[in-house]
Structure 1
Amino acid sequence: MSANPLVLPPEDRGLSPHTGWTRDHWVAVAEHLLLSVRPYASPCLARVDLPGPGSAYGRDSDGLEGFARTFVLAAFLVAGHRGADPHGFLDRYRSGLLAGTDPGGRERWPRPDELGQAKVEAASIALALMLTRPWLWDRLAAPERDRVVDWMSAVVGAEYPPINWVWFQIIVEEFLRSVGGPWSGADIERGLAVHAGLRRAGGWLSDGPERAYDHYCGWALHFYPLVWASLSGEPPASERYRRWHADLRRFLHDHVRLIGADGGPLFQGRSLIYRAAAAAPLWVGAWSGATDLDPGLTRRAASGILRHFTDRGAPDSDGLLTLGWHRAWPRMRQSYSGGGSPYWAAKGFFGLLLPPDHPVWTAPERPLPVEAADFRAIVHAPGWIVSGTVGDGVVRVVNHGTDHGTEGEPTGDSPLYARLGYSTATAPPLVGGSLAAPLDNSVVVLDAGGAATHRTGFSALGVRDDGTAAIGHSRWTAHWVAVEEDTGPDHGSGRRGSTRRGPVLDVWSAVRGGDEVRIVRVAPGEDPGPPAPPWPVRVGGWPVAPDGGPRSTVTVLAADGPVRTGTERLGGVGPLADATAVPWARADLPAGGVLACLVRLSGGQGGASANASVAVTPEGASITWPDGATSGVRF
């Protein structure tokens, strides 16, 4: 099967000097995606069975997912054009809706009380129906409406995990309320209470009780509240609405700084196959007024994200969104991901609901923060130091607060959460030995067989800025985990297994530009007996392609023991390049020993810059930067 190639209108570099894109480009991509999936629709149009590996939930679930998520995209497109639908998208989704909810039909969907994933997809269908009500729902016959209501009513009173999923129940029950179906005020209030419990400092939300900070904060936990508030038959209390409004406004200041000059979102967290969904909170902010961003900056950021992917192979030559990042790379998916999953990217097209004369479409594009100047920022909730450098357009995050875990509960490290660093230009190794042996952006202890420890469950001791550099600190008991014992599904978090304890490690990061001075200290021994043998401690640097692109180096600045350095080369472990190189440094440290390294990720152009220096005393470490400015940490 093959779709027509993506055809875009001419660029407008006067209105959009950074991307060249306008609203017409977004419309063209949306239409292209929707037309390209038509060959994969089932005979009665209730399923969109897209190619690629299936999810853990089976073919029926995946086909429903393909229908529901593309339906949302069609809804944004048609509603944004006040019902204009020259391609007849809604007629097709009407037919599929009726076939899928026919309990005796050959293409009946699994009900939400039969399959957990159907709870997710029911919300997409409900949202699409609410947005397109005059052109679809209101034209259904009464028995057809009853059939849809009956299928959706299975969510009423159902249990949902205390994560972003509570919004799926709220959205479905809001739809049911709007059409006179059954619904439960208690269900909605319970979901809103869960959401309130996920709120953290600075407008951030954690997707669950663990330290799970990722893109779900924007494309789910900030997306649904204000959208639901606009659709609700009983608008939320003004205090609750103002809180959501203020949370999104504050979050967007951080979110826009997590986009590289090439439009690449931060490569961190699960479900990255949703790609352009990272633009969703930007559009919701503009649509609801919950933003301080210039409308031209909003469009530049959102268009940059979408163009980042369209320029790099997503959609592919058949017009499909594959399981991957740029091009297909199925190994980065989670167990719940199937062929239709990438179409949650539809959320990134929410801006099509804004009319063509809205300022977000008519204001001249403004540069991203990383295009305007070098910057450094502290984000307290996830424990991140964010550093953007205009020279290479790369945004880096140094992480001292996120691991998709809980303090004091040691598990294996998830490569997408527990690393010390993430960026818009690199991807952690996602397959092979890295699952059992953290290498990139890590501090580990090696046992006699070379197995590396993990850090999940660490104590987050804060991030701050001393005016010269940003400094983060975390502490953990290094532990080995037999992750191979955990054969459960991959939902993005670290795996469990039998553990062995190693020494306590303190790690500080002092960040300035593209440089991080990483200081590691093995906790002093408390046993008055003979000293323990030195611990082999390894510091891993940034993962990069060996040839071309950003450069990664690890330079030892101080060490209380013999030092070795090297570079590990891995093949086929990430979606950005065929090979990945990770530099490292190793020192054998006694109790109380210190290893200080300069960990650098720099653009591919220009010569090497001068290094910082470190002086270590029993009380702490003093860092002298190349320009003579100083920073310090206390032990």
Structure 2
Amino acid sequence: MADAKTGLVLGYDGVHPFSKVALKDRDSVQDLLRTLLDPLEPFFSPLKSRVRMPGATAVRFDQTASEVEGICRPLWGLACLLAGGGEYHGTQWWVDGIRAGTDPESPEFWGYPRDNDQRMVEMCPLGYALAVAPVIWGSLTERERGNVESWLGNSINEKNMPNTNWLWFRVFANLGLKKQGGKFSQERLDADIEHLNTFYRGDGWSNDGPEGIHQMDYYSSSFAIHFLQLLYAKLAGEDEPARAEEFKKRAQLAALDLVHYYDKEGRSIPFGRSVGYRFAMVSFWGALAYADIELPPPLTWGMVKGIVMRHLRWWQTQHNMWSSSGTLTIGYSYPNMYMAENYNSPGSPYWACLAFICLAVPADHPFWTSEEEDPWPVIPQVKALKQPGHIMSNLGGHCMLLSSGQACSYPMKGTHAKYGCFAYSSAYAYSVPPGLFTLEQYALASQLGLSDDGGEYWKTRRLSQSSLETRNNTPVLVSLWSPFPDVHIKTYLLPPTPAAPNWHLRVHHIAAAGREVMTADGAFAICNERTPDGRYLDLYDAAKGEGTQPRLIGNYDLSTPEAWAAGRDGAFAVSKGAVGIRALEGEAGGRTATLVNADPNSNLVESRTTIPTLQGRVGKGESVWYVSAIYAKPSGEGVERTSYLDGWERVPEIPGWLVEEMKGK
């Protein structure tokens, strides 16, 4: 590591200190956090109130707010460290920064928030830090405390906020002041919590918004709602036992669902927006321990600890997520602006520090004293989750969710990919479109696209009417959607079975009443790099256990015969495991199989990918059934390369009930 004036610089083949920490206990997780905080030092402003992260990208809010993110989001980690009795040599940077940032006479004043201001979000970690780290409030003079009260309490209590999880941020602004005896509004705090309770839908789940919105992603759990409910239960439980008990009860119910989102390798399932917050996906589990939750059977503290520790270790293997200065970048496994939201500033990724809530858990808690365990032997292999509208599976070497087709409340960039895909996998992340011209740019992984202009522009599922049903004791997701006003689709999603653990079924009935459409049904995206030299995959070679079938041809070359196969034969790609797709409707659908060479940087984890795809055409006035079988067998510990395609020839059967429904349509 370079000195403080130059910061941490990662050169050719450089490895971040984050990846060098041997994670085994509480002390090592403290060290892991310090490797995130240390590289920030050169980017503090002279009075320490702002952190200007590397990268000059703009967001929908002003530059000052972006730099307030830069100082406040890492405060999640520092506050958790201090709350658990840990130490950090740079703690005074944050104390000085809060002092200058809340002083209206300071040249580095943060500015009072306007309605719906990003500053309100950053008040949440500051409120929590005040509540659990007395060194901050104790270091301030009476005048400086008044400035904090004015900026943190009065200003936010007078402003409008989005009708979403944001309301929790105002709760914590008031709670932090309350815990230190500062001026706050109990009336506003109570009103916000009562309104947030209207988001509750049952079974432990809250929606990220009011009626009419179906959005239950990581904001409903680890990023905001459940996480903050648990922190509130811990901090306010003595004064409000009934409210705290309700939040704990919700967490117990949700835990039995959320455990299905994390696999044996430590990966979580990327789903929804803001996944650039990375290891914040696991913060719910540390918050369970922090709030002293009694775990619902069959979960144990060893299982909870295992989920957290394996998750952090997996992120330690993602060496490309850092800037050359050692700071987190916008992206997921590597820097990627295509998947970023319009609110992702260079400082935004440090919401990941929520994961370090486990450091606020005492060393003698069973979270820390238990041996790591794996939950998969004792929880269901397939489970339907009523509230989010998901069918979860841990068959076939990865965790996967089949999605009913949620939707963000506004049409954000790539929203159809973040919420509308049919399947999301812990092993094969979703892809976002880096452009809007041809299949290569749309990168339709786990999506059905339709084009009415010969293949230039494509439309996919974004809004749908969906239901979670049961057929022959098996959960099935059914959704109705219309990519065009006169093209109507009914989609069935069927999970893997023990007999065919690497397959799931995707069945579409397409009624193209008013126009002719081309169709493209994509499997998962997989790494498109061969092992010896990183060049694109060749034709499949069984001896090497790598390649594609049919042959992968360069972008936009659609006329080469060897790039196509019959739909029944399908298409597959083998690199880091294997993915593929086959048409089970036979020749009736008239589809053919090929490999789409997706544009680079479209996928969250792999920067170069290919997508096995079935393509077809539905004439104006026609009605057809498509039955797609999607194959996935990831690489992993103990999985031999020669076994990646072991299940490819064991194609699942179409269930009898579905055959009958297809006949009756």
TM-score bracket relative to the smaller structure: 0.7 to 0.9
The residue that corresponds to 2:418 in the other structure is: 416
| Secondary structure of the structure 2 residue equivalent to 1:192 | helix
Instruction: Pick one of 283, 292, 302 that aligns with 1:296.
Output: 302
For the residue of structure 1 that corresponds to 2:527, the secondary structure is coil
Structure 2 equivalent of residue 576 of structure 1:
605
Amino acid at match of 1:581: T
Name the amino acid aligned to 2:646: A
For 2:17, give the aligned amino acid: L
Q: Distance in 2 between matches of 1:246 and 1:324?
A: 34
Aligned residue among 468, 485, 490 for 1:506? 490
**Counterpart Cα distance in 1 of 2:413 and 2:138:** 52
Map 1:530-541 → 2, pairs under 5 A = 535-541=517-523
In the alignment, the residues of structure 2 paired with residue 438 and residue 329 of structure 1 have an alpha-carbon distance, to the nearest angstrom, of 15
What is the CA–CA distance in structure 1 between the aligned matches of 2:357 and 2:117, rounded to whole Å? 25
Map 1:91-130 → 2, pairs under 5 A: 91-113=92-114, 116-130=117-131
- What does the per-residue CA deviation read over 1:65-110, in whole Å, with 9 as the maximum and x for residues that have no partner? 11111222111111211xx53x433322111111111212111112
Instruction: Pick which of 557-566 and 337-346 moved more.
Output: 557-566
Does structure 1 residue 518 correspond to structure 2 residue 506?
yes
Question: Counterpart in 2 of 1:67?
Answer: 71
Which one is further off, 40-49 or 285-294?
Answer: 285-294
CA contact (8 A) 1:415 1:434 kept: no
1:251 matches 2:254 = yes
Question: 1:592 offset after TM fit, Å?
Answer: 4.1
Q: Encode CA deviations 1:233-292: one digit per residue, 9 max, x unaligned.
A: 983361x43332121112112222211222111111111111111121101112223333
Q: Is the CA contact 1:415–1:438 (under 8 Å) kept in the aligned structure 2?
A: no
What residue in structure 2 maps to residue 486 of structure 1? none
Task: Report the secondary structure of 2:495's partner residue.
Answer: strand
> In structure 2, what is the Cα distance between the partners aligned to 1:524 and 1:33?
53
In structure 2, what is the equivalent of residue 6 of structure 1?
Answer: 17
TM-score for both structures, normalised by structure 1:
0.84
TM-score (normalised: structure 2): 0.81
Question: Which residue of structure 1 aligns with residue 461 of structure 2?
Answer: 455
Instruction: Look up the equivalent residue of 1:571 and give its one-letter code.
Output: D
Which amino acid in the other structure matches residue 98 of structure 2?
A: L
SS of the residue corresponding to residue 130 of structure 1 reads: helix
SS at match of 2:659: strand
Q: Give the Å deviation of 1:599.
A: 1.4
> How far did residue 194 of structure 1 move?
2.8
Amino acid at match of 2:366: P
| TM superposition shift of 1:384 | 1.0
Match of 2:632 in 1: 601
Q: 1:139 to 1:177 in 2, by over 3 A?
A: same
2:537 maps to what in 1? Answer: none
Deviation at 1:111, TM superposition (A): 1.6
The CA distance in 2 between the partners of 1:615 and 1:227, in whole Å, is 46
Cα separation, partners in 2 of 1:438 and 1:574, compared to 1, 3 Å: closer
1:306 aligned residue: 312
Q: Is the 8 A contact 2:415 2:462 kept in 1?
A: yes
Alpha carbons of 1:230 and 1:453: their partners in 2 closer, same or farther (altered >3 Å)? Answer: same
- AA aligned opposite 1:73: G
**Counterpart-to-counterpart distance in 1, 2:372 and 2:262:** 15
Q: Secondary structure at the match of 1:144?
A: helix
Residue 431 (structure 1) shift:
3.1
| Aligned mates of 1:545, 1:558 — CA distance in 2 | 28
Other structure's SS at 2:401 match: strand
- 1:614 lines up with 2:654 in the alignment: yes
1:429 is the counterpart of 2:393: no
The equivalent residue for 2:226 is 222
Question: Is this contact kept in 2: 1:226–1:245, CA < 8 A?
Answer: yes
C-alpha displacement of 1:228? 1.8
Partner of 1:201: 202
Q: Which residue of 1 aligns with 2:447?
A: 442
Secondary structure of the 2:338 match is helix
SS at match of 2:217: coil
1:362 is aligned to: 369
Q: What secondary structure is seen at the aligned counterpart in 2 of 1:612?
A: coil
Paired amino acid for 2:334: R
SS, match of residue 598 in structure 1: strand
Q: Secondary structure at the match of 1:335?
A: coil
The match for 1:554 among 581, 589, 594 is: 581
Bigger mean CA offset, 569-578 vs 505-514: 569-578
Matching residue of 1:235 = 239
SS at match of 1:21: coil
- Which residue in 2 is equivalent to 1:147? 147
Q: How far has the Cα of 1:437 moved from its partner?
A: 5.0
Per-residue CA shift, 1:462-498, capped at 9, x if unaligned?
Answer: 144644x54211112232xxxxxxxxxxxxxxxxxxx
Per-residue deviation, 1:139: 3.5
1:170, distance to aligned residue in structure 2 (A): 0.8
In 1: Cα distance, 2:409 partner to 2:60 partner: 23
Q: Do the aligned residues in 2 keep the contact of 1:438 with 1:452 (CA within 8 Å)?
A: no
21, 30, 35: which one pairs with 2:24?
21
Change (3 A) 1:182 1:142: closer
On the 8 A contact 1:558/1:615 being kept in 2, the answer is no
Q: Give the match for residue 324 of structure 1.
A: 331
How much identity, in percent, do the aligned residues show? 22
One-letter amino acid matched to 1:278: M
CA offset at residue 448 of structure 1?
A: 3.4
Measured in 1, the distance between the counterparts of 2:276 and 2:413 equals 25
Name the aligned partner's letter for residue 621 of structure 1.
Answer: V
Distance 1:622-1:241 versus aligned 2 partners, 3 A rule:
farther
Segment of structure 1 superposing worse, 283-292 or 426-435: 426-435
**In 2, distance between residues paired with 1:415 and 1:449?**
22
Aligned length: 579
CA distance in 2, matches of 1:116, 1:396: 36
Q: CA deviation at 1:598?
A: 0.8
Residue 272 (structure 2) pairs with residue 269 (structure 1): yes
Q: 2:116–2:159: 8 Å Cα contact kept in structure 1?
A: no
One-letter amino acid of the structure 2 residue matched with residue 444 of structure 1: G
Q: Secondary structure at the match of 1:189?
A: helix
* CA distance in structure 2 between the partners assigned to 1:633 and 1:94 by the alignment: 70
Give yes or no for contact 2:433–2:443 (8 Å, CA) kept in 1: no
Distance 1:465 1:246 in 2: 31
Q: Secondary structure at the match of 2:259?
A: helix
User: Is there any run of 5+ residues in structure 2 with no aligned partner, and where?
Assistant: 1-5, 10-15, 530-574, 636-640
User: 1:498 — aligned with what?
Assistant: none
**Aligned with 1:330: secondary structure?**
coil
1: distance between equivalents of 2:100 and 2:412? 48
1:350 to 1:413, Cα distance in 2 relative to 1, 3 A: closer
Distance 1:269 1:615 in 2: 30
Q: Contact 1:157–1:184 at 8 Å: present in 2 too?
A: no
For residue 317 of structure 2, what is the amino acid of its counterpart? D
Q: After TM superposition, give the deviation of residue 533 of structure 1 in Å.
A: 7.3
SS state of the match for residue 598, structure 2?
Answer: strand
Alpha-carbon distance in 2 for matches of 1:537, 1:10: 48
Once residues 122 and 533 of structure 1 are traced to their aligned partners in structure 2, the CA distance between those partners, rounded to angstroms, is 52
Corresponding residue number in structure 1 for 2:591 = 563
The answer for unaligned runs of 5 or more in structure 1 is 12-19, 480-500, 526-531, 624-631
Aligned AA (2:492): W
**Secondary structure at the residue paired with 2:446?**
coil
Letter aligned with residue 442 of structure 1: Q
CA contact (8 A) 1:477 1:502 kept: yes
Separation in 2 of the partners of 1:378 and 1:77?
37
User: Post-superposition shift, 1:440?
Assistant: 2.0
Q: 8 Å contact 2:405–2:463 — kept in the other structure?
A: no
